[in-house]
Amino acid sequence: MSAPPLFHLTRGQAPLFVSFPHSGTYIPPEIAARMTPVALTTPDTDWHVPKLYSFLDALGASRIEATHSRYVVDLNRPPDDKELYAGQKKTGLVPTDTFKGEPLYGDGEALTGEEVIARRKYWQPYHDALAQELSRLKAIHGSVILWDAHSIESVLPSLFEGRLPDLNLGTFDNKSCDKDIADATFAAAQATGFNAVLNARFKGGFITRNYGAPKKGVNAVQLEMAQTIYMDEGPPFTYRPDKAAKVTTAIRTMIAAAMEAL
């Protein structure tokens, strides 16, 4: 298999840009050769998330979708690997274990600091493209919505207690997004029939926090979804169209509310 481009970027004209940093599964052969069998199944992927946003073309939205696994580099972490969620299990710029604590690298294959720094070559192009597209859309509209799209297994004791709520909106405690937009989006989420929270366990990762600047025209929102509402969480991580249709409707409703409040 030849290596894919690091990301796929689709440019639209609407004041909406959707980022999919964790939906990729590709691992370069030289990295894969050092990994454990469980790592190669990429269990912590944001499975099928772009499929849930199939309506974006109809909205004229821009989108950027990573192709490489978050195990290669985590695009939603800062390049200096600074911790985002104090008091919780750290999931770093270059992960070394799964969310469940299983090692990603075989015996004798531990990463060096130099290797972690070198992995930034997979990180920088995505962020360059993201920043450039935001700049282009701001030049057209003045203000835009940056929507960072994620999903995660609904029960992960290492990261949170109990079962994760269905819809987890984050605006970095309203630092990354105008409060009126955040409130409108959250109200729409609460009306979907799914249980929803705002700025709880998931307040937004690096993308939300770094690019969200409402006074400068970028209103960034992260949506972290419990995977159980649209797929089978265990291998082979099967997409469930019977569940997913309702989720897609809910996402479109939230995005519509955010754009109306923009």
* β-pairing verdict for 7-10 and 62-66: antiparallel
Question: Which pLDDT belongs to residue 211?
Answer: 98
244 SS3 class: helix
DSSP string, 20-82: ETT---B--HHHHTTB-TTGGG-TTS-TTHHHHTTTHHHHT-EEEEE-B-TTT--TTS-TT--
Question: In terms of Cα–Cα distance, which of 37, 134, 115, 131 is closest to 73?
Answer: 115
* CATH of region 7-26+43-76+118-261: 3.40.630.40
Q: What integer pLDDT is reported at residue 106 of this predicted model? A: 93
pLDDT of residue 169: 98
Strand pairing of 167-170 and 144-152? unpaired
- Kindly list the averaged pLDDT for each block of 10 residues, start to end, along the chain of length 262: 92 98 97 96 97 98 98 95 64 91 93 93 98 98 98 93 96 97 98 97 95 98 98 95 97 98 96
The answer to whether the CB of 80 falls within 8 A of the CB of 22 is no
Name the residue among 179, 149, 153, 182 with its Cα closest to residue 166.
153
Amino acid in the structure at residue 47? W
Q: How far is CA 221 from CA 19, 76, 170, 218, in A?
A: 10, 13, 6, 10
Residue corresponding to tokens 């004791």 = 157
